[in-house]
Chain A
Amino acid sequence: MVALIKRMLFVAAFLAAATALGQGDRALEPQIKAAFLYKFGGFIEWPAAAFARADTSFSIGVLGADGVAAELERVVTGRTVQGRAITVQRLKRGDPVTGLHLLFVGQPEAGRLPEILSAAKGLPLLVVTETEDALTRGSMINFITVDDKVRFDVALPQAERGQLRISARLLAVARKVITG
């Protein structure tokens, strides 16, 4: 047993050294998703009514994806979407979605999609997910990992119901576009 503890200490020391080596880097996937979420804002047109005033900020809500939220907070500092400042809100389940322009629902909260979508019905809210089959359940853009790359599929009918207009440039990058 003593020998076992010694070995554990040895392994722990090795890992500590190796961890120190990688410090400062962050997981790449949440970074890519956060960058996409920010970029989406530039390729989608919201109805004028979605912004109460000329200086109303572009509001992104994140539910169940703290890693993406943290990256997003870092990314939006000093950046704008269509000339508007950007705010990032980390949502807890049950928080209202009114006033948001973009909502990202992480995998752990995917089961709550029906509830979230019924709350968002009729609102000009872009709903983005990262769960298989989410588009058939009402999401508008869904991230999917293909060949080690983060890609996304778009469901146009849902976006149209929210009065959102998605640019052809964004659709060209999508892996798959569902047209209804």
Chain B
Amino acid sequence: MGAAGGCDSEGGRRLSTIAKTRKCLLTRLAAASLALADALSPALAQQPKPDLADLSLEELANLQITSVSRRAERLSDAAASIFAITGDDIRRSGATSLPEALRLAPNLQVARVDARQYAITARGFNSTTANKLLVLIDGRTVYTPLFSGVFWDAQDVLLEDVERIEVISGPGATLWGANAVNGVINVISRPASDTKGLLAFAGSGNRESGIGVRYGMDIPGGALRIYGKGFDRDNTVRANGADVSDGWQNAQGGFRADWGTATNGFTLQSDAYRGTIDQVAPGDVRISGGNLLARWSRQLASGGHLQFQAYYDQTEREIPGTFIERLDTFDLEFQHSFQAGSGHRLTWGGGHRSARDRVTNSAGLAFLPPNITQHWSNLFIQDDIELSEQVRFTAGIKAASNPYTGWELLPSARLAWKPDPSRTVWTALSRAVRAPARLDRDLFLPGQPPFLLAGGPDFRSEIADVLELGYRAQPSPRFSYSLTAFHAAYEHLRSLEPVGGGGFVIGNKMKATTNGLEAWGNYQAATNWRLSAGAVFLDDSRKFEAGSGDTNLANAGNDPKRQFTLRSSLDLPGQQEFDVLARYVGSLPNPPVPSYLAVDARYAWRPLKELEVSVTAQNLFDKRHPEFGAAATRSEIERGVFLKVKWSH
């Protein structure tokens, strides 16, 4: 765990020159794409429009709806800023890890810190201990009660079996839970019935190598798949090229079995993993764990739907010289939705989670008490009201309890107006809560008194009130886009309050407001060529409340003011694919990290139906660049080339 803080602003002038050059480049790119659009538009307008009613039944049944349309169709009703990364998007990106795949979502900030660590958030406050994002893998919350965030080095999936990743930026607390202050990431794997047969791959490159195998089959009444994977990631380097000792080896395996359908069936799934990360002294970092999840869902005769889910998750992390943690989590939840009278769709449910956390402290830091069992409970209800054929109103409230501050209320109200099937205007007002974590209450530095830093015995929940306004449209089968503007006011953010004798205690005396805009779109330029673009603009202002003695606003996180993505997916004749992803991330203010433009490209060829050979180059035009952290201690991310061979039948 590292903090985002640091106060030097050296090199700011040089940065702004680079930023200006990038800005010019982007303006030119935008002008060029508008010119291209102008040139194309007469050609598009003249295309004959086939009358579908003249086609045969067989022809109709084989017509492809563009994937743009399918995505817009599925997401078009949601009154939220939601982006879906499809399994195909992931495959075509050449991503080898979950965080790398998340770079495809324009509404996320993803910064690679070193070989194993990432700082990931939505709508600001990014750090390696970012705590305002909720991440679920097949319904399992992958968060650590240590800091209410995600240890990205412990969460992996077989990306080939991911159906989609839904990324919601903005509060999702009413349905999802207390951590969903700035966003929710929902990783959804394919049902076992969709992954029958053998899939095997092996890949190698200058930065990593990996292998994986999955086998899926029918079992009585359902389907089962089992998988195993492993990788070896190379260490990162400092700005001067010196090696950082953070190379990483990991192995993971698991299974998923499904009986029935997604809405009427039973699912049992499990994963287990073990990894080692180099550390110079006093020894290697070891990470291991596993989980088992069961989900039962039932379509009721009345049209209602019922779901129960239970899981057990165990994770162990040994960082010699820092701490050892073993966490056992039991989670149980249920949800019932039904039509309640005319125009009301009610969803209600609840859940309970218990976690037993055992920490072995070090001379450097201590979580006190070291061993603790904590409980969280929640109850929620949401009513989806159809006010007219075009207007839907959704109101919901969740009551969630945490071991530190008891029950908190998380309400939200959403209004969607759909003047016609291809356009949605929506607005939402929500209150979200980030409940205290052990880091806020139980952390002490150093490991023994006298403490320089002490957890805040009165630390309360951080609160966000968020107003969002969005517009989504699909003006043609080839083009769709989404725009979201948001304003958020945060209260009681974490601060470090000085106490007598040079020590600090963790307090709640920071406030912040953020304003921003998220925009993305998809354009099917030709049947074999798709373009996607995204942009996020974020302005934040932070201040300390009266009475605070803290002076370092940068501790709350380090965010770029703007980021852009442009993606091109081209199918070439002879079963070939060529994909390019360009990402521009603006400079980070404190500690300063220069803006960067990273271009990834992937070429793939399928000489046989079962065989795919691909080459992925990451960071194509740049030897290496830093993405996060203070100059003196940070890693830089090098150019990577990866060759992968995949067999599936």
Interface residues of A (CB under 8 A from B): 1, 3-4, 7-8, 10-12, 14-15, 17-32, 34-36, 38-39, 43, 64, 66-67, 75, 79, 92-93, 108, 110-114, 132-133, 136-137, 145, 148-152, 169-170, 173
Please, which residues of chain A bring their CB within 8 A of the CB of B517?
4, 7-8, 11
Please, which residues of chain B bring their CB within 8 A of the CB of A112?
339
Please, which residues of chain B bring their CB within 8 A of the CB of A38?
53
| Contact status B37-A29, CB under 8 Å | no
| Contact status B60-A35, CB under 8 Å | yes
Interface residues of B (CB under 8 A from A): 30, 34, 37-38, 40-41, 44-45, 49, 51-53, 55, 57-58, 60-67, 69-70, 73, 261, 263-264, 299, 302-303, 339, 342, 345, 386, 389, 420-422, 473-479, 481, 483, 485, 515-517, 519, 521, 523, 535, 537, 539, 562
What are 18 sample pairs from A and B whose C-beta atoms fall under 8 A apart? A8-B517, A15-B483, A19-B475, A26-B477, A27-B477, A28-B65, A28-B66, A34-B53, A66-B389, A66-B421, A108-B386, A108-B389, A111-B345, A137-B303, A145-B70, A149-B62, A149-B63, A149-B64
| Contact status B389-A4, CB under 8 Å | no
| Contact status A31-B535, CB under 8 Å | no
CB distance from A93 to the nearest CB of B (A): 7
Cβ 8 A contact of B65, one of A10, A32, A43, A136: A32
The A interface is mostly helix, strand or loop, or mixed, namely helix
Please, which residues of chain B bring their CB within 8 A of the CB of A75?
51-53
CB distance from B539 to the nearest CB of A (A): 5
Please, which residues of chain B bring their CB within 8 A of the CB of A137?
303
In the assembly, what is the distance between CA of A75 and CA of B54, in Å? 10
Instruction: Contacts A17-B37, A35-B53, A148-B65 given; indicate if A25 touches B60 (C-beta within 8 A).
Output: no
The residue on B at minimum CB distance from A36 is B60
In the assembly, what is the distance between CA of A30 and CA of B523, in Å? 19
The residue on B at minimum CB distance from A25 is B476
Please, which residues of chain B bring their CB within 8 A of the CB of A66?
389, 420-421
Cβ 8 A contact of B481, one of A18, A43, A93: A18
The residue on B at minimum CB distance from A114 is B303
Please, which residues of chain B bring their CB within 8 A of the CB of A1?
515, 539
The residue on A at minimum CB distance from B64 is A148
| Contact status A67-B37, CB under 8 Å | no
| Contact status A150-B421, CB under 8 Å | no
CB distance from A133 to the nearest CB of B (A): 5
Cβ 8 A contact of A35, one of B55, B345, B477: B55
Cβ 8 A contact of B57, one of A12, A15, A39, A92: A39
Please, which residues of chain A bring their CB within 8 A of the CB of B40?
21
| Contact status B539-A28, CB under 8 Å | no
| Contact status A21-B41, CB under 8 Å | yes
In the assembly, what is the distance between CA of A34 and CA of B60, in Å? 11
Additional A-B contact list (12), CB under 8 Å, known A30-B421, A169-B57: A11-B483, A18-B523, A25-B476, A25-B478, A31-B52, A67-B421, A75-B52, A92-B389, A114-B303, A137-B303, A173-B58, A173-B61
Instruction: Contacts A26-B477, A28-B66, A145-B65 given; indicate if A21 touches B37 (C-beta within 8 A).
Output: yes
Please, which residues of chain A bring their CB within 8 A of the CB of B45?
24
| Contact status A150-B60, CB under 8 Å | yes
In the assembly, what is the distance between CA of A42 and CA of B481, in Å? 38
Please, which residues of chain A bring their CB within 8 A of the CB of B58?
173
| Contact status A4-B539, CB under 8 Å | yes
| Contact status A11-B535, CB under 8 Å | yes
| Contact status A28-B345, CB under 8 Å | no
In the assembly, what is the distance between CA of A35 and CA of B56, in Å? 10
| Contact status A79-B53, CB under 8 Å | yes
In the assembly, what is the distance between CA of A133 and CA of B264, in Å? 9
In the assembly, what is the distance between CA of A30 and CA of B41, in Å? 24
| Contact status A113-B66, CB under 8 Å | no
The residue on B at minimum CB distance from A11 is B519
Please, which residues of chain A bring their CB within 8 A of the CB of B67?
148
Instruction: Contacts A23-B476, A27-B422 given; indicate if A32 touches B63 (C-beta within 8 A).
Output: yes
Please, which residues of chain B bring their CB within 8 A of the CB of A19?
473, 475, 479
Please, which residues of chain B bring their CB within 8 A of the CB of A34?
52-53
In the assembly, what is the distance between CA of A113 and CA of B389, in Å? 17
In the assembly, what is the distance between CA of A39 and CA of B456, in Å? 70
In the assembly, what is the distance between CA of A150 and CA of B66, in Å? 11
Cβ 8 A contact of B537, one of A7, A17, A30, A108: A7
Please, which residues of chain B bring their CB within 8 A of the CB of A29?
65, 69-70, 73
In the assembly, what is the distance between CA of A163 and CA of B131, in Å? 61
Please, which residues of chain B bring their CB within 8 A of the CB of A27?
69, 421-422, 474, 477
Please, which residues of chain B bring their CB within 8 A of the CB of A4?
515-517, 537, 539
In the assembly, what is the distance between CA of A14 and CA of B30, in Å? 8
In the assembly, what is the distance between CA of A7 and CA of B519, in Å? 11
| Contact status B52-A133, CB under 8 Å | no
Please, which residues of chain A bring their CB within 8 A of the CB of B263?
132-133
In the assembly, what is the distance between CA of A124 and CA of B199, in Å? 49
Please, which residues of chain A bring their CB within 8 A of the CB of B53?
34-35, 38-39, 75, 79
Please, which residues of chain B bring their CB within 8 A of the CB of A31?
52
Instruction: Contacts A28-B63, A150-B61 given; indicate if A21 touches B69 (C-beta within 8 A).
Output: no
CB distance from A118 to the nearest CB of B (A): 13
Please, which residues of chain A bring their CB within 8 A of the CB of B38?
17
Please, which residues of chain B bring their CB within 8 A of the CB of A79?
53
| Contact status B61-A149, CB under 8 Å | yes
In the assembly, what is the distance between CA of A43 and CA of B58, in Å? 13
Cβ 8 A contact of B61, one of A20, A110, A151, A169: A151
The 6 closest A-B pairs by CB, nearest first: A22-B476, A67-B421, A25-B476, A35-B52, A111-B339, A28-B477
In the assembly, what is the distance between CA of A19 and CA of B472, in Å? 12
CB distance from B264 to the nearest CB of A (A): 7
In the assembly, what is the distance between CA of A110 and CA of B263, in Å? 15
In the assembly, what is the distance between CA of A148 and CA of B581, in Å? 24
Instruction: Contacts A4-B539, A14-B34, A108-B386 given; indicate if A150 touches B63 (C-beta within 8 A).
Output: yes
| Contact status A21-B57, CB under 8 Å | no
Please, which residues of chain A bring their CB within 8 A of the CB of B30?
10, 14
| Contact status B57-A170, CB under 8 Å | yes
CB distance from B74 to the nearest CB of A (A): 9
In the assembly, what is the distance between CA of A66 and CA of B423, in Å? 13
Please, which residues of chain B bring their CB within 8 A of the CB of A30?
421
CB distance from A92 to the nearest CB of B (A): 8
The residue on A at minimum CB distance from B344 is A111
CB distance from B474 to the nearest CB of A (A): 6
